[in-house]
Structures are given as structure tokens and as C-alpha cells.
A = this chain, B = another copy of it.
Amino acid sequence: MLRGDITVAIRNAVMNELAEVGYGRLSIEAVARRAGVGKTAIYRRWSNKLEMVMEIVSDIAERKVPLPDTGSFAGDLQLLMFIVSKALQHRIASQIIPDLMAEAARNPQIAETLQGALRTQQQALAEKLVGQAVTRGELPEGTDPKLAVDLMLGPLYWRLAISRDPIGDEYLEQLAAAVTGALKAARP
């Protein structure tokens, strides 16, 4: 039976190593060193780097985001943006996510894994959120959920993961207001 404490140490080491050097430069040996573990312990669990990283990452990424329903679209949106912005400002996540996204662009297996872990949820969440708003009459019927995702997550991701400008609460409110305006203005 594999020892659980050692598995945990490896998982942590992988996440930290991934954040520091990225997938491309991540080596099994460095993970073992960092975890204070023999390489054998790693190869006993996974057969190579890709499999190891994918299992560990998707395990974390699959943790579901609780779906907000604050009673109004503006409220839902602001809450969602708050949650996402917190996640994207997390030290480790803010390094790993862009790195794996870039890697996904050239490795189909990574793309598939991330898609399964992240985008399916996103899609469902956006559809529900938009659906609620349409039912309430806050958004025009026929509002495109995909467009909504782009408008809700795009600016946040851009700001936090690409520009890496710090962001305050007042900015978040401003952004939420803008996105609400955007969706109302979009011709369905």
C-alpha cells in the first residue's frame, strides 16, 4: 500500500515546482528532491511526467465552484468575479494556469484534460447564470452564454494573468457594471 503522506508531499512538490519553473522545465528529479522523496516513490505512482502532472492538476481543478444565486444578475456577477479574482490572484494558481494554458496549445492531451476539468464547469455555470438572469428579465432573451463567458472571464483573466495589474474592489465593481452593460447591449 502506497503511503498517503508521501503522495501528499509529492503533490505539493509538483504544484510548487510547476509554479516556479513551469511544465516545460519540470523534472521528476527536482520534484523528488523538493518532496524529500526518492524517484522510485514517484515512478511507483505515475509512469511519466505528463501523467503525473495531469492527474494532480485535474484533481485540484475539478473541485467545483459553488454556483452563486444572489437574486440579481448584478449580484451574481459581482460574486462570481470576486471568487475568480481571488483564485487568479493566488500565488500558485496565477503562475500555473497561464503556463498550462500555453502548454495546452501545443499538447492535445493537456488541452483535453484542462478542457474536461475547467471548461465544462465554466460553460454550465455561465448557462445557469445567464438563464437565471433571462428568466428574471434582466437580460434579453437569446443572450449567448458563450459571449457571456468571454465578457465575464476575459477581462479578469487579461488583467490578472496577462497584464498583472493589481486590482481593487472598486475596480471589480466597475468591471461588473461594465459587463452587465455589455450583455444588455449585445444584440442576441
Contacts and interface: CB of A to CB of B under 8 A. Distances in A.
22 contacts: A21-B106, A94-B105, A98-B102, A101-B102, A101-B161, A105-B164, A147-B171, A151-B182, A154-B154, A154-B159, A157-B162, A158-B158, A174-B187, A178-B183, A178-B185, A180-B185, A181-B183, A181-B184, A182-B182, A182-B185, A184-B185, A185-B185
Number of copies: 2
A22 B182 contact: no
A71 interface: no
Please tell me the size bucket of the interface on A.
35 or more
A134 B146 CA distance: 30
Given A101-B162, A181-B182, 8 more contacts: A20-B106, A22-B102, A101-B161, A144-B174, A150-B163, A157-B157, A157-B158, A177-B186
